[in-house]
Chains A and B, each alone.
Chain A
Amino acid sequence: MKYFARRLFHATLLLLAVSIFSFAILQLTPGDFFAPMGLNPQISSRTIAGLRSQHDLDRPLPARYGHWLWGVLKGDLGRSFAYNSPVTRLLAVRARNTLLLTGTAMLLAWLIAIPLGMWSAVHRGKWGDRAAGVMTSGLLAIPDLVLFLVLLLAAVRTGWFPTGGMVSASFSDLNAWNKGKDLAEHLFLPALGLAIATLPTLLRHVRSAMIEVLEAPFIQAARAHGIAERRVLFRYALPVAANPLISLFGFSVGTMLSASLLVEVILSWPGIGPLLVDAILAKDVYVVIGAVMLSSILLVAGNLFADVLLFAIDPRIRVE
């Protein structure tokens, strides 16, 4: 229990640091949300100054940070200037969409990586394993941006998949089954892109973790007792190889989230990504900070989840 208390404490410190950095860096950038209004001769500088003081932008940074932090404790992340609505409400919808996308992609990536990695480990050195190796190297070498653009191009050319948004325009007229189908069609392309982007790393780790365990003497001993190969793989090797993979799972949440920002912008998935980009360009400060904080929380939660899982399945960690 002490272990988790410490982890939670570290996580809180991390989030605090992230928030301070976000505030400081945004402060360092020139201009603010209301600066472009100054270019419009019809808006007087007094009006702009009034708007600034209304949104507390005229107060010094530490005071604004303190005010924001106090709000966070009460569950209020501030207001968006552009949407004129609470940041929490804006983020809630976007976070749901991003989680739907990353969750699906994560599931897809692991469902491919585990069996394929195991197969590669068993057939290492054979042509199938080499082909998989060449494929993963190739995918690692292609920048995510290019990968997503190629997917977009393919979708536009073939017309097999919708290329933007989460649902069709006629979504509200559809029945429940068709609603699900429509959503799945829209989800497919970005989820696939995201899964492909993370797959090579996962695949290589699964392969090497399995190879390491398969060469361990305890597996040799079991073979000397006459164990069946399939039983070796699933009952002996996979559970022992699971440890590094669970840690990798926590880590992959982070890579998945950063890749998802890109895929959401390119394939116009209404998640946190496009919101964050728009907010940065418009200097919608509290939205930017809210989105950054949300991503950090998801990242920390992913790692914490992996730790809990490790703790639950590995007796060695439990004793330490």
Chain B
Amino acid sequence: MKRGLKPDTNRTEPLLRIAGLSKHYVQQRTFSRAEFTVNAFQDVDVELFRGKTLALVGESGAGKSSLARCIALLERPSAGKIELESEDLLALNRKALFRIRRQIQMIFQEPVSALNPRLNACEIIAEPLAIQREGTQLQQRERALQLMEQVGLDAKWERKLPFEFSGGQRQRLAIARALALRPSVLILDEALSNLDASNQALILELLAQLQVSHSLAYLHISHDLRLVSQFADEVAVMYESRIVERKKTHDLFASPEHLYTKELLATVHSVESILLERSA
């Protein structure tokens, strides 16, 4: 199927479809040959749509990050399907996989270790273009500077190194780098967790703007339901390596079904009521 679907089909046709995806790791005990399997996640079905955000919440160890790595094609899932515009990504050969990678980009939790400490801002943003051999060096630099402005960084900082930026600025750099290849899917793996509240709000706003201007599909992974629900269209709740509930954000808050979801919501409400009491 060709890219650039007609606008009326955008609503119904998912951009990225994940069906029955599972990942388990086989491990061997140290002193015997006995093997045992650890399930990272099982039977995950999710769909991402252009311009929409799916939030994936769950406690740490629930398998969220493994799922993110599999969707970003950094690890091979044990079973299931990943389809981008109906193209089966797991069946692709090396060359096709190399080309398709530009479509799915990831933003990490730790903005410090997510950037190569030896490269300057411009080089970091141009790095994906260089890897994918897109344009001349001059064009790559121009695009990098353009992206810096887009994410709210001054282009005159192009020679600065990652450690010279603040936490929020580093996350902006990471976002600029992820956008360099004009992806259609962005995976945000706890991308806001390491930022302070005001930076969280600023980055959320930036992400929302970029989503509209680039019609990006977001998969926003977090353990913080309150944070994530602010701009998610849909929320999936992961518990013990499975997705136990998936609903429109409003519906989830109105009528949670699974026990774990109820617990999650209860903590959010209790925090809010404490805050309300204090301000009263």
Contacts and interface: CB of A to CB of B under 8 A. Distances in A.
Q: How large is the interface on A (under 10, 10 to 19, 20 to 34, 35 or more residues)?
A: 10 to 19
A66 B207 CA distance: 72
Nearest to B94: A226
Interface in A31-56: none
B181 A218 contact: no
Given A216-B114, A319-B164, 12 more contacts: A218-B116, A221-B108, A221-B177, A222-B127, A223-B74, A224-B74, A226-B98, A226-B99, A226-B132, A227-B131, A240-B116, A319-B163
Contact of A224 (B101, B116, B117): B101
Contacts of B116: 218, 222, 236, 240
A223 B76 CA distance: 13
A316 B163 CA distance: 7
B155 interface: no
B10 to A, nearest CB: 25
B108 A220 contact: yes
A220 B74 contact: yes
B118 A240 contact: yes
Given A225-B102, A316-B161, A217 B110 contact: yes
Contact of B108 (A217, A225, A226): A217
B28 to A, nearest CB: 9
B89 to A, nearest CB: 13
A225 B128 contact: yes
A60 interface: no
Contacts of A224: 72-74, 101, 104-106
B177 A315 contact: no
B24 interface: no
Given A218-B113, A240-B116, A225 B104 contact: no
B114 A221 contact: yes
A218 B163 contact: no
A239 interface: yes
B164 A225 contact: no
B17 interface: no
Interface in A208-241: 216-218, 220-227, 236, 239-240
A225 B102 CA distance: 6
A222 B116 CA distance: 9
7 contacts: A216-B113, A217-B108, A218-B114, A226-B99, A226-B101, A239-B118, A316-B117
Interface string A148-185: 00000000000000000000000000000000000000
Contacts of A216: 113-114
Contacts of A223: 74
Contacts of A239: 118
A217 B97 CA distance: 20
Contacts of A218: 113-116
B69 interface: yes
A217 B116 CA distance: 9
Interface string B153-193: 00000000101100000000010011001000000000000
Nearest to A313: B118
Contacts of B102: 225-226
A182 B263 CA distance: 79
